[in-house]
Amino acid sequence: MIKKLVKTLFLLTKEKSDEEKQKIVKEFLILLKEKNKLRFLPAILDELKKLEKKTKIELILARNFNQEFLEEVKKNIKENFGEKEIKIKIEPEIIGGFLAKDENYLVDGSVKGILNNFKKIIWTHSKF
C-alpha cells in the first residue's frame, strides 16, 4: 500500500517546478493527517529513498573536478545508462577517477578499482 502511495506521489511531482512540488507535498501531508496515517511517514520516507535510488544515478567522485572532466564523465554515463538524473557524491576513498552506479549496473573508472584488479591477479598467481 505504501509502495503505491509513494509511486503516485513520485509521478505527481515528476518534472514540476519547485513551487508546485512544495504545494503537492504539503497537500499530501495534510491528507495523511486527516486519514490519521501520519505514523506511516518513516516507512514512506524509506520507500522514497529506494525509489530515488532506482531512478537516479549515483556518481561518486574522488574530489571536485573541473567542468571539462565532468562533461566527459557525464557523456560516458549517458552512453551507458541513458538519460537519467545524476546525483554527485564526493568520496576521497576511491583515490582517483569516478564510479557511476545505478540499481543494476556499475561503471568503475576509479583508481581503487584498478588497484583491486591488480591485487586479484597477484593473488591468483601467488597460489603457486
Partner 1 sequence: MDTFEILKKEIENLEIKARKEEIGEVVEVRDGIAMISGLKEVESFEMIKFEASDILGVVINLEEDLVGAIVLGDFSKIKEGDIVKRERKTLSCPVGENLIGRVIDPLGNPLDGKEEIKANKFSPLEKIGPSVVEREPVNSPLHTGIKLIDALIPIGRGQRELFLGDRTTEKSDHALTIILNQKNEVKRPICIYCPIGKKESEIARTVEILKKSGAMDYTIVVAASASLPASFWYLAPYAACAQGEYFMEKGQDALVIYDDLTKHGYAWRQIALILRRPPGREAYPGDIFYLHSRLLERAAKLNKNKGGGSLTAIPILETQAGDITGYIPTNVISICDGQIYFDTSLYLQGQKPEVNIGLSVSRVGSAAQTKAMKQVASTLKLELAQFAELERFVEFLEEVDEETKKSLERGERIREVLKQEKLNPLPIEKEIVSIYAGVKGFLDKIQVKDIKKFESELYETIEIKKPVIFESIREKRDLDSSIQDELNKILQDLTKKYEIEGS
- The answer to whether residues 111 and 97 touch, using CB atoms and an 8 Å cutoff, is yes
| Residues 45, 23: Cα–Cα separation, whole Å | 18
Q: Counting contacts by CB under 8 A, is residue 80 touching partner 1?
A: yes
Minimal distance, residue 115 CB to partner 1, in Å: 11
What's the closest the beta carbon of residue 50 comes to partner 1, in angstroms?
A: 8
Q: Nearer Cβ to partner 1, position 69 or 118?
A: 118
12 Cβ partners below 8 Å, 6+ apart? 24
The pairing of beta strand 97-101 with beta strand 85-90: unpaired
The CB-of-75 to partner 1 minimum distance in angstroms stands at 12
Mask for 8-47, x = binds partner 1 (CB under 8 A): ----------------------------------------
Q: If binding is defined by CB under 8 A, does position 96 make contact with partner 1?
A: no
Answer yes or no whether residue 114 interacts with partner 1 by CB under 8 A.
yes
Q: Strand 56-61's sheet: what is its strand order?
A: 85-90, 56-61, 97-101
Contact 62, 98 (CB under 8 A): yes
Q: Which spans of this chain sit near partner 1 (rule: CB under 8 A)? A: 50, 53, 76, 80, 97, 101, 103-109, 113-114, 117-118, 121-122, 125, 127-128
